[in-house]
């Protein structure tokens, strides 16, 4: 194939390109950013086994030095202690303010490497090479970096943009199906809130996309998702208002993850259930037609995503968790609802009882 | 007295006021920033004993809630683990994105609280109430926040501006003399690089300033130092070039602190010796007159500051440490030298031998 598409995320002096394709020439694409520089390549123990050495070699063709830092795979590593260890490795590898961090991995890796780059010597730069579909369509655009606290997820972090994102579709071939489905949950979300046409493409091609068939529009749909998210982020980099629609399904999803102890559901699965809750609420509020809610649910099922929690979580516990979400100012619950497939808005005036009623159908 | 002066640090949308005076009405001055908000008051174990309760009460007159977080006094606490504990306390105290952190203490407290505020929920706001002269004239202006790594000082941090700095001169009355001298080292530095007239004021009033006599121009000289630093920072917020002159005496001083294990010299003392080294080098390079170097040394002595290391540090070890300073790009040593009292520049072309020669006279 070797066809490459490039998308530019427009954020003034913080703008950056995303290269998307298969069989990309990584060394050549990375060269402008790493030539003669000391690079710290950050990856997790799973990804390292598959791609660590290869990517280190590609970076090494032009970098002055490439030091690899490997952390234990999993959300359990996503804390300030790991960020500190990344920074300490950077000191030992001789990185200075002109040096570069490279994140090879999923969202956890990108979020932590970005935060380390933001903090190291009060600000260096970083490159993202996402290895999961979720990281490609979600954490690669938006500049959200961060780690968890024992009290909650992503409570500590920074808005910090990469200088390059390299999306090699072949990396997805080693991804477990459950992880792939996770990424499609975010893609469905983006389509529902912003682009009816993308939604139709996903409906048409779901089985091929899930199998990553050679003829599937995986690169095109990934690119479109990044483009759409990029447009929203460009208008609202630090998440004051407009950007809130990107949280469609997330307020419910985060709460569901929290009340189930972050063990039962992967992020995309929780978001999938959250989108169904949002659609139910939108239908009951007379905002969305039942038919469109059905189409959304059918597409999520096509991607092998859950559409209800399938266990006894109490609606009240979920609502309490929603009130503790960091995006809820002063304890007031804001929910993002779609009025049709392709358009969404933020609603803050909906009563707690209506929300409880809507979520109870999915618990 | 109850005379208050207000200085505004001009940084566009990140501009903020500094109120300077004695017997200030803290509650009234803090009200616009904390009314109806949840506040986390961060302070160290020493300052807490002296002022913790009082400041908590002043904040509490208008805040929705004020929770106090106390960390163990000393540079040993200045790490990411403490920042994490501050953020965890913030979660437990119910702080959200619209809440406020308040730093009551010296540089360590301000640097960590600022970093916690920068990172908590990817960015809240903070207020500084400095209790040391060094924190007033140095860390209150410039937006540098950060913590140490085992590998070196201030290696992890962010540029992040407070929304208010409240400088109550009475707080200095409980400060040990050695700490007071530390602050005067930074004031002498500011005068040497930027303002000959301020230097003369310091020469005239050193004994009264050191005793904090009622008639001494302490508030005026503190204000002038903040104003001068503010002007430099306004032109170069993220330390690309111009701001580098603020490091006068610091490249030598940091190296001296590092090679003596951060135990022998307080920061201001190391900077004092560093300024003498810089002046010796400037004289030997034909940039500064010997007479002006003498005036600088005499003023530092007046403030009871050391002018040589008084122990056998090898010039070579010092130079090696200078090369590891995070401001030295690619291992090249940049030094800030004054050509006369009131003006300084950055020099990067000076040979290692010349620098070794100059520092050896102070070791």
Judge if B5-174 and B177-360 fold alike in CATH terms.
Answer: no
B93 touches chain A (CB under 8 A): no
| CB spacing of B87 vs A156 below 8 angstroms | yes
Beta partners for residue B346, in sequence order: B336
A329 touches chain B (CB under 8 A): yes
Q: Are B210 and B177 in contact (CB under 8 A)?
A: yes
Q: How far is A265 from chain B (nearest CA, A)?
A: 23
Please report the pLDDT score of residue B328 as a whole number.
55
Nearest one of B312, B307, B332 to B249, comparing CA atoms: B307
Residue A72 falls in the annotated catalytic set: no
Q: Which two tokens stand for residue A89?
A: 């490795």
Residue of A13, A38, A82, A84 for testing the chain B interface, max B β-carbons within 10 Å: A84
Of the CATH numbers 3.40.50.1970, 2.40.30.10, 3.40.50.300, 3.40.980.10, which one belongs to the domain with range A5-174?
A: 3.40.50.1970
Please report the pLDDT score of residue B1 as a whole number.
47
Q: Are A71 and A48 in contact (CB under 8 A)?
A: no
- Residue B162 pLDDT > 50, yes or no? yes
Q: Give the separation between CA A89 and CA A84, rounded to whole angstroms.
A: 9
Residue A247 falls in the annotated catalytic set: yes
Residue A223 falls in the annotated catalytic set: no
Please report the pLDDT score of residue A326 as a whole number.
56
Q: B93: pLDDT confidence band, cut at 50, 70 and 90? A: very high
ipTM computed for the complex: 0.91
Comparing A331 with A139, which gets the higher pLDDT?
A: A139
In angstroms, the Cα distances linking A170 to A22, A135, A180, A209, A342 are 6, 14, 13, 13, 29
Domain B177-360 bears CATH identifier 1.20.1090.10 = yes
**DSSP labels, B134-173:** HIIIIITSS-EEEEEETTEEEEEEEE---SEEEEEGGGGG
> How confident is the prediction for chain B on average, in pLDDT?
94
A208 three-state secondary structure: helix
Which residue is closest to B240 within chain A, CA to CA? Answer: A97
pLDDT digits (tens, 9 = 90+) for A297-342: 999 999 999 999 987 789 999 998 888 765 555 556 789 999 999 9
B101 three-state secondary structure: strand
- Once rounded to an integer, what is the mean pLDDT over residues A13-23? 95
Q: How far is B217 from chain A (nearest CA, A)?
A: 35
Rounded to 5°, angle at Cα A305 from A301 and A306: 95
Q: Give the separation between CA A65 and CA A86, rounded to whole angstroms.
A: 16
| CB spacing of A330 vs B80 below 8 angstroms | no
Torsional sign, CA B181, B185, B190, B196:
positive
Domain residue ranges of chain B, discontinuous segments joined by + = 5-174, 177-360
Helix then strand count (H, E) for chain A reads: 14, 11
Q: Are A248 and A191 in contact (CB under 8 A)?
A: no
Please report the pLDDT score of residue B329 as a whole number.
53
Nearest to A122 among B98, B152, B159 (CB): B159
Please report the pLDDT score of residue A168 as a whole number.
97
pLDDT digits (tens, 9 = 90+) for A189-219: 999 999 999 999 999 999 999 999 988 999 9
- B144-149 and A343-347 beta bridge pairing: unpaired
B357 three-state secondary structure: helix
Q: Which residues of A touch B96 (CB under 8 A)?
A: 326, 328-330
Contacts of residue B17, defined as CB under 8 A and 6 or more positions apart, other chains included, come to B6, B7, B8, B9, B164, B165
A326 touches chain B (CB under 8 A): yes
- B100-105 and B65-71 beta bridge pairing: unpaired
Q: How far is B258 from chain A (nearest CA, A)?
A: 15
Please report the pLDDT score of residue A236 as a whole number.
81
Q: Give the separation between CA B174 and CA B247, rounded to whole angstroms.
A: 28
Contacts of residue A121, defined as CB under 8 A and 6 or more positions apart, other chains included, come to A96, A97, B155, B156, B157, B326
Distance between first and last Cα of chain A: 44
Q: Give the separation between CA B110 and CA B66, rounded to whole angstroms.
A: 17
Instruction: For chain B, give percent helix, strand, coil, nearest 5.
Output: 50, 20, 30
Q: Which pTM value belongs to this model? A: 0.92
Active site residues of B: 122, 144, 186, 229, 239, 243, 247, 250, 254, 267
Please report the pLDDT score of residue A202 as a whole number.
98
Q: How far is B42 from chain A (nearest CA, A)?
A: 17
- Once rounded to an integer, what is the mean pLDDT over residues B38-42? 98
Q: Give the separation between CA B6 and CA B23, rounded to whole angstroms.
A: 14
B324 three-state secondary structure: coil
Comparing B34 with A139, which gets the higher pLDDT?
A: B34
Please report the pLDDT score of residue A1 as a whole number.
47
Residue with the two structure tokens 């080292």: B185
Q: Give the separation between CA A283 and CA B141, rounded to whole angstroms.
A: 53
Residue of B36, B37, B84, B238 for testing the chain A interface, max A β-carbons within 10 Å: B84
Q: Which two tokens stand for residue B285?
A: 């390079």
Q: Which of A62, A247, A297, A302 is catalytic?
A: A247
pLDDT digits (tens, 9 = 90+) for A33-65: 999 999 999 999 999 999 999 999 999 999 999
pLDDT digits (tens, 9 = 90+) for B167-206: 999 999 999 999 999 999 999 999 999 999 999 999 999 9
- φ/ψ of residue A288, rounded to 5: -125, 150
């Amino acid at each position: 194939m070797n066809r490459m598409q490039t998308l530019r995320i427009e954020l003034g002096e913080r703008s950056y390109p995303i290269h998307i394709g298969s069989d990309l020439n990584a060394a050549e694409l990375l060269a402008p950013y790493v030539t003669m520089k000391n690079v710290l390549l950050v990856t997790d123990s799973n990804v390292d086994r598959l791609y660590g050495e290869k990517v280190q070699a590609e970076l090494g063709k032009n970098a002055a030095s490439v030091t690899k830092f490997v952390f234990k795979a999993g959300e359990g590593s996503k804390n300030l202690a790991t960020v500190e260890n990344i920074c300490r490795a950077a000191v030992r590898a001789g990185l200075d303010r002109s040096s570069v961090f490279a994140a090879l991995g999923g969202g956890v890796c990108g979020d932590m490497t970005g935060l380390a780059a933001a903090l190291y010597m009060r600000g260096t730069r970083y490159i993202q090479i996402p290895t999961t579909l979720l990281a490609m369509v979600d954490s690669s655009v938006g500049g959200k970096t961060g780690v968890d606290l024992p009290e909650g997820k992503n409570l500590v972090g920074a808005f910090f943009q990469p200088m390059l994102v390299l999306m090699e579709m072949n990396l997805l071939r080693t991804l477990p199906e459950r992880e792939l489905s996770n990424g499609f949950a975010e893609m469905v979300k983006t389509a529902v809130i912003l682009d009816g046409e993308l939604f139709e493409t996903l409906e048409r091609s779901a089985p091929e996309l899930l199998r990553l068939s050679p003829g599937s529009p995986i690169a095109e749909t990934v690119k479109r998702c990044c483009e759409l998210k990029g447009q929203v982020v460009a208008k609202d980099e630090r998440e004051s208002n407009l950007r809130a629609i990107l949280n469609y399904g997330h307020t419910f999803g985060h709460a569901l993850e929290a009340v189930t102890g972050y063990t039962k559901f992967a992020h995309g699965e929780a978001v999938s259930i959250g989108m169904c809750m949002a659609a139910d609420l939108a239908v009951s509020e007379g905002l969305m037609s039942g038919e469109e809610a059905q189409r959304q649910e059918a597409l999520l099922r096509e991607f092998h995503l859950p559409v209800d929690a399938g266990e006894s979580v109490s609606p009240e516990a979920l609502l309490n968790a929603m009130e503790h979400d960091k995006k809820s100012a002063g304890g007031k619950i804001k929910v993002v609802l779609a009025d049709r497939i392709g358009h969404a808005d933020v609603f803050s005036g909906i009563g707690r009882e209506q929300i409880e009623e809507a979520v109870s159908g999915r618990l």
